[in-house]
């Protein structure tokens, strides 16, 4: 059995990675901002590493909960998160700055809200 404490640890790891992505990308206003400077390219690499970390943690959570826990939160495309992790890790040449920009601006905010809700619900269960 994968207990709530273990789930919380993974969710907090994801939450921290999201916060790091948000702070790193705050000044990014377009996909081109990643390509226009060495700092932008470095930032893109760092954000990709955090996306790998998120994807890895999502995979672990899914596997350890026998693919049931994440189903409680269908508003998040969990398989897409895991798939993006696989692309970044195994096919880095396919990483597209426009796709990463879209993930940061459109997907990360909703993921952040859901992860916060998941943490809150687990904390309430532990009370």
DSSP string covering 33-54: GGTSSHHHHHHHHHHHHHHHHH
Known catalytic residue at 85: yes
Distance CA 104, CA 35 (A): 16
Looking at residue 52, its pLDDT comes to: 98
Q: Please identify which of the residues 85, 93, 94, 117 carries the catalytic annotation.
A: 85
- Judge whether 111 and 76 are in contact, CB under 8 Å: yes
Q: Please identify which of the residues 90, 93, 94, 117 carries the catalytic annotation.
A: 90
Q: How many CB atoms lie within 10 A of CB 118?
A: 22
CA within 13 Å, CB half, 47 = 26
- Judge whether 47 and 104 are in contact, CB under 8 Å: yes
Residues in the chain: 127
With a threshold of 0.85, does the pTM exceed it? yes
Known catalytic residue at 79: no
- Local mean pLDDT, 10-residue blocks, the chain (127 residues): 92 98 94 94 96 98 96 97 95 89 97 98 87
């Amino acid at each position: 059995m994968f207990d709530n404490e273990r789930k919380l640890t993974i969710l907090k790891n994801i939450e921290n990675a999201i916060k790091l992505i948000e702070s790193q990308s705050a000044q990014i206003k377009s996909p081109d901002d990643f390509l226009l400077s060495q700092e932008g390219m470095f930032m893109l690499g760092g954000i990709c590493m955090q996306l790998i970390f998120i994807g890895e943690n999502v995979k672990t959570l899914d596997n350890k909960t026998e693919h049931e826990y994440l189903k409680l939160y269908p508003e998040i495309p969990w398989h897409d998160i895991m798939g993006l992790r696989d692309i970044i890790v195994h096919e880095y040449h396919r990483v597209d700055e426009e796709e990463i920009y879209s993930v940061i601006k459109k997907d990360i905010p909703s993921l952040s809200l859901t992860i916060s809700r998941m943490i809150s619900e687990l904390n309430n269960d532990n009370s």
